[in-house]
Every structure is written in structure tokens, then in C-alpha cells.
Amino acid sequence: MRKLPVTMFLFLMLTSLSAQGDWELQSTIQFPRLGLLSLDNQGFIFISDLEGNIYQYNKEGVQVNNFSPHRQGALTQLEAAWTVNIFTFSTDLQEYRILDRFINPVAQNRIPIDKITLAKVATLGNNNIIWVFDEADLSLKQFDYRISEILQNQPLNLILERSSLEVKDIREYQNLLFLYIKSEGVYILDNQGNYIRNLKLNLSQKLSFWKNYMVFQENDQLVLLNFQTGKREEFELPEKEMPKNVMINQYAIFFYDENKVLIYSKANSPLNNY
């Protein structure tokens, strides 16, 4: 069998490595006044505008559906990763909404002011509960939206001592509760609100997850941080100037800002094996 020259072997090996590291831009969604973006587990993309309207796109970036609420207002939270439901919350309107996979409302209501005075952030949890941070009394509350009752009320300053409690974002993910507090990082609590650990991060986007990783950009790198082990993986960005928000699903990596969404093939990217 004829042997390849060493130079040819090195060239082929370097070419292969280069190909593994390439990025392939599949499509772009032009979306002026983009508010929030979320992904479901079937490949659909959900985008809200600054009035709270929601638009659904398929994995090719083609719009297939939309929903317009009666009361218009910017959304603070948009979560489509749940198997059955889509969750939205607006701090301005003090209103939550749960929709089915076809963006039809299943449950919607104002936050009951007699139980939660000022809901700053909220996230959908398991078993029909909504986690709410009440900025009025600095407490973390479990709210059962079906019966409109508070199931659990914990003063957050007793859980997170010496914290500013300037909560910017909240998410329940894999039966854990994640709180992002400005200048302090991401606090991880269990599903009863007990402290587990703190990840010292300075995020410039909403909490974003893929498998056991938190996903974000830092120092012009795409970072995957395993929130269980603390292990970091860093990747070069497709271009030097990229939109600062990033999300991942099984098909693609999404970079987005207030005007557009860039959709890169996951199979043809450095994240192919993640």
C-alpha cells in the first residue's frame, strides 16, 4: 500500500481540523425591535417584540405562526423549552400567560397584588407553580396559578446573605432554580429554594442553557459552562463582531440582538459534539 508523504498527511489533517472548526450560516431572521427569544425542544423558534406579540418560526427561519395579546406590553420572560407549554411574564403589566404549542392561551391572569405586591421576575416551574421574586418584600415565592395561592414564601436575604438582591433574571431548569444577580453572578438553588452554589459570572444576556451547560459570550468567546462541575469550554466566534445573545438547540446555534437572529448549523460548527 502506497504511503502518503508526511507533508500531504499534515495538510489533510490540518484541513480536517479546520473544517471541524468552521461555522456555517444557515439563515438570518430580520426582526426590528426584537425583545426576547426562546427555543422549544422540537426546533421551533419563538420571538417576542417590544409590545409582547409572539412570532413562531421553524428551524429554517420561516415564520409559521403568531400571537397578539389583548393587553400590549414588553415581556420580561419568554420560555418555550417546556414540553407542553410556553410561559410569558411581563413586569410592566404584572401579568403572566401560559400558552400551548400552537400559541393559544391556556391560562392568563394578573399577578394577585394581595399575595405578590411587585413581581420583578418570574419563571415557570414543575407542578403548576410559578417562581416569583417579589421586590416589595424581597422574597422568593412559589405561586400555584391554578388555585391562585402562595405555596412557599422565603425571604431571599435569609437564603443569600450579604447579597444586593438586585435580581435580573430567574429560570427553573433541570429541577434547579437559577437566579442572576447583578455583580454577584448566578445563584443555584434546589427546587425548594435552598442554596447550593454561586457561579461568579457577569452576564450580558438572559440565562441560556443547553444540556448541563450555561451558554454565554465572554471576552469574544462562546462559553459553555457546566453548572454541575464548573468546567468551561471556550470556542472562537464565527465573526469578531457578533450579536451578544446566544442560544443553542439540537439543530443550530443562534446569535441575536434587537434587530436580527443569525442561525448557524450546529452540525457544521465547533459545537457539533455537544
Burial class (CB in 10 A: 0-12, 13-18, 19+), 104: exposed
The answer, yes or no, to whether residue 21 has pLDDT greater than 70, is no
CA distance 95 to 108: 7
**What's the pLDDT tens digit per position in 57-97?**
999 999 999 999 999 999 999 999 998 899 999 999 999 99
Query: Which residues fall within 8 angstroms of residue 68, CB to CB, at 6 or more apart?
Result: 53
Report the predicted TM-score, pTM, of the whole model to 2 decimal places.
0.91
The answer, yes or no, to whether residue 1 has pLDDT greater than 80, is no
**What's the pLDDT tens digit per position in 162-216?**
899 999 999 999 999 999 999 999 999 999 999 999 999 999 999 999 999 999 9
What pLDDT, on a 0 to 100 scale, did the predictor assign at position 10?
42
> Please, what are the domains in the chain?
25-203 (2.120.10.30)
Name the least confident of 17-26, 70-79, 101-110. Answer: 17-26
The answer, yes or no, to whether residue 3 has pLDDT greater than 60, is no
Q: What is the mean pLDDT of residues 218-241?
A: 96
The answer, yes or no, to whether residue 5 has pLDDT greater than 60, is no
Name the least confident of 2-6, 144-148, 244-248. Answer: 2-6
> Rounded to whole angstroms, what are the CA distances from 194 to 164, 167, 203, 241?
18, 16, 23, 39
